[in-house]
Structure 1
Amino acid sequence: MLTMSTDDPRLGQELSSELYNYSICDCCKVGDFDRAMSLLAQMEAQGFQLSALSYTYLIEALGSVGRTLEAEMLFQEMICSGQKPRLNLCNTLLRGFLKKGLLGLAVGLLQEMDDLRIQRNQETYEIFVDYYVNAGRLEDTWSTINEMKRKGFQLNSFMYSKIVELYRDNGMWKKAIGVVEEIRERGVSLDRHIYNSIIDTFGKYGELGEALELFEKMEKEGVRPDIVTWNSLIKWHCKEGDLTKALHLFTNMQEQGLYPDPKIFMTIISHLGELGKWDVIEKTFESMKFRGNKKCWAVYAILVDICGQYGKFQNAEECIQALRSEGLVVSANIFCVLANAYAQQGLCKQAVKVLQIMEAEGIEPNIIMLNMLINAFGNAGRHMEALSIYHHIKESGMSPDVVTYTTLMKAFIRSKKFDKVPEIYKEMEYSGCTPDRKARQMLQIALMMLERRH
């Protein structure tokens, strides 16, 4: 593939537009997005136009690193130039919007697809169902599934796994398990998606014996557990206080050749930290060094430091600089993991600092990151700051999800502002999110405390 520098003499030649397009695609392939955007600016200044392929590369590349609004701007520019985007590109952009919680933009894009006569496919519907289930939007989920059926699309294992999760999150765990019978009757095989959803359902409701039994059955039937399977089992054993079993699973996962992601590592060490088992944290970290990617060690070392409050990486700027000095690309996911680590330790200023650094680099925070900040302020008893993040979410065009509302309700309960909880509960219902079991429990607590006051 052709490449060029910004002062390449070939830019003045007849094929300079083609060379620009080639080079922009090359930049996207190697992750040099800033240079790609710089070349785009130079290209437009000379009156040249991006090719459909270059638009696709740029939009997908920017979306992959969380620069969603820039991706959306280029998408609109592509349409205005008379080029019709392919369905795959639309689906990529939809997924990026919904990952950020930008439901309004996603729905708007669906309308544009209809206007351009770009037919939705199975993946389009799956993207929305995945978002609606995670956001706790029960009515929207069933509406999308029913529309999907009317269009002639069949429910596959992914869709059934989402239905299981829907029942799970709304307190109907026995009904979730009952879906398995329907799956078998329809001849759909129990693949990894379905196993993971059911295992997670058992775990969430404390049925850890059932979860492990299903895990063993999964392996016997030749369905290889993935990182999601292991994460779920480890997480729920930690929540139930069985850290011995959680650590055993953590070790087994690595022996199976799967390196733990930072989120599950943080779950384990934070629970160990609460019990003051610093030696076990250190031992767990040291044992990982012999199994994973050397560049990733820096992330885990920093998480150990933050969790242990040793002081070396209590400054977010120094922390991110240390990661970069190890040659690690700090992605949107890494930013979220760091913000969560600071949030769990009540280090609110540093959690906010991570957000500021992230935004300064052109990466828009997603709904997960902002929910973490609400949690950080809530844990620190600073309910007004938690509320300000909630308002920021709405002002930014994002759609608060069920986690946003329940985390904010928890913040108000911690600060003994019980009268605010019913207000947030009503806002949740009005928004289209269905209150889950946790939200209903918090509402009951708040109402009980208000009744005692009177």
Structure 2
Amino acid sequence: MGIARNQQTYELLLVCNIRAGRLEDTWSLMGEMKRQGFVLSSRIYSKIIGLYRDNGLWKKAIDIMIEMKENQVPFDRRVYNSIIDTLGKSGQLHEARGVFENMQRDDIKPDITTWNSLIRWHCQAGDVGKALEFFSTMQDQGLYPDPKIFVTIISRLGEEGKWDLIKKNFESMKYRGHRSSGIIYAVLVDIYGQYGKFQNAEDCLLALKSEGVETSASLFCALANAYAQQGLCEQTVKVLQLMEAEGIEPNLIMLNLLINAFGIAGRYLEALSIFHQLKEIGISPDVVTYSTLMKACIRARQFDQAIKIYREMELVGCTPDRKAREMLQNASMILR
């Protein structure tokens, strides 16, 4: 029609390709923008870094930082958060802490997303001491951790048998946070700890309601995650049913958690069933869905099924992340 693309056109196209995980098309558009003299905004840069994170391309994220400095594009909180998360996920924890220090030197105050990334990836790397240090500093700065991160910490401590440390950190939290949030953490400690009072999801929800806690999709996902990480499939399903009874539509996060619960329990057929139901109701699986399902199949030694899922992920245009590629390689080697 003879209408030239402008800055907004390019940015919309970039966002579409980033959401679809299309690396090649994203790079092509970025190159075209540069040739046309357009400069990306910090918002778009942060989304591109997120795409690199999902594909394990942490060096590309560093290149983006250099490019932004050369183009004098200001670093905002979103960009810093994206870079920290990318480096953390790739295991580059020293570099992530360096970016975190730069963020503070630039007088950009870390938010809950910043702290969550630092805590999550240090926990995953086994550096629980540093994770707890960030956890404490975050609260000192007046931020209360979200339930998912709290579960990450107590699950890691639980795996190491450090129940006294769980109790110590929880008691410390009780004197800092809001009472209504405190009951949520009490329930999570109980689910993952050695106390057993809230092993039933229905009792757990009743206790929360009696304390005046408002239900939400994020709350149900936090509870489901606590049950799912231990392979307590029935209770994870019960959380989903309670969520629906409250009139809250199941989202992709909840269904991914359900797949994970069955996978951890070694019940890969049920995990596959959830996957097929998910597609039937019109929810598009994401890279987390496929990776979680692959992990469930590999845990059940269904290596050919894991490879089949990987191929489907590629066919639908969902770019596999590093974890999925590693699982494909391992499954292929075992079958050979």
Q: Quote the residue 2:198 is aligned against.
A: 313
Counterpart AA for 2:308: E
**Alpha carbons of 1:419 and 1:203: their partners in 2 closer, same or farther (altered >3 Å)?**
same
2:74 paired with 1:189: yes
Counterpart AA for 1:274: E
Contact 1:164 1:197 in 2 (8 A): yes
Q: Quote the residue 1:368 is aligned against.
A: 253
Q: Quote the residue 1:77 is aligned against.
A: none
Deviation at 1:149, TM superposition (A): 9.2
Q: Quote the residue 2:3 is aligned against.
A: none
**Alpha carbons of 1:123 and 1:362: their partners in 2 closer, same or farther (altered >3 Å)?**
farther
Moved beyond 2 Å, runs of 4+: 121-129, 131-155
Instruction: Quote the Cα distance in structure 1 between the aligned partners of 2:14 and 2:243.
Output: 26
- 1:224-277 residue CA offsets vs partner (Å, 9 max, x unmatched): 111111111111111111111111110001111111111111110000000111
Structure 2 matches for 1:294-443, cutoff 5 A?
Answer: 294-443=179-328
Specify the SS of the correspondent of 1:209.
helix
- 1:370-412 residue CA offsets vs partner (Å, 9 max, x unmatched): 1111111000000000000100110010111011111101000
Instruction: Quote the Cα distance in structure 2 between the aligned partners of 1:398 and 1:148.
Output: 32
Deviation at 1:194, TM superposition (A): 1.1
**Alpha carbons of 1:448 and 1:147: their partners in 2 closer, same or farther (altered >3 Å)?**
same
Structure 2 matches for 1:200-279, cutoff 5 A?
Answer: 200-279=85-164
State the number of aligned residues: 331
Structure 2 residue corresponding to 1:180, chosen from 65, 74, 77: 65
Deviation at 1:309, TM superposition (A): 4.3
Q: Quote the residue 1:81 is aligned against.
A: none
- 1:42-89 residue CA offsets vs partner (Å, 9 max, x unmatched): xxxxxxxxxxxxxxxxxxxxxxxxxxxxxxxxxxxxxxxxxxxxxxxx
Contact 2:56 2:86 in 1 (8 A): no
Structure 1 residue corresponding to 2:176, chosen from 266, 270, 291: 291
Counterpart AA for 1:406: S
Deviation at 1:342, TM superposition (A): 0.4
Specify the SS of the correspondent of 1:199.
helix
Specify the SS of the correspondent of 2:303.
coil
Instruction: Quote the Cα distance in structure 2 between the aligned partners of 1:357 and 1:150.
Output: 53
Q: Percent identity?
A: 65
Specify the SS of the correspondent of 2:247.
coil
**Alpha carbons of 1:165 and 1:388: their partners in 2 closer, same or farther (altered >3 Å)?**
same
Contact 2:20 2:317 in 1 (8 A): no
Instruction: Quote the Cα distance in structure 2 between the aligned partners of 1:154 and 1:310.
Output: 56
**Alpha carbons of 1:314 and 1:135: their partners in 2 closer, same or farther (altered >3 Å)?**
farther
Counterpart AA for 1:409: M
Deviation at 1:144, TM superposition (A): 8.2
Deviation at 1:173, TM superposition (A): 1.4
Deviation at 1:211, TM superposition (A): 1.4
Contact 1:135 1:402 in 2 (8 A): no
Contact 1:351 1:376 in 2 (8 A): yes
**Alpha carbons of 1:291 and 1:389: their partners in 2 closer, same or farther (altered >3 Å)?**
same
Structure 1 residue ranges without an equivalent (≥5): 1-120
Counterpart AA for 1:216: E
Deviation at 1:143, TM superposition (A): 8.2
**Alpha carbons of 1:134 and 1:203: their partners in 2 closer, same or farther (altered >3 Å)?**
farther
- 1:324-374 residue CA offsets vs partner (Å, 9 max, x unmatched): 100011101000110111000111100001111111222111111111111
**Alpha carbons of 1:284 and 1:138: their partners in 2 closer, same or farther (altered >3 Å)?**
same
Counterpart AA for 1:399: S
Counterpart AA for 1:224: K
Structure 1 or 2, whichever has the larger Rg, is 1
**Alpha carbons of 1:350 and 1:137: their partners in 2 closer, same or farther (altered >3 Å)?**
farther
- 1:133-177 residue CA offsets vs partner (Å, 9 max, x unmatched): 466454676688799999998622121011112122223211211
Contact 1:135 1:403 in 2 (8 A): no
Structure 1 vs Structure 2 CA RMSD: 2.6
**Alpha carbons of 1:124 and 1:389: their partners in 2 closer, same or farther (altered >3 Å)?**
farther
Contact 1:158 1:194 in 2 (8 A): yes
2:47 paired with 1:162: yes
**Alpha carbons of 1:340 and 1:128: their partners in 2 closer, same or farther (altered >3 Å)?**
farther
Deviation at 1:196, TM superposition (A): 1.1
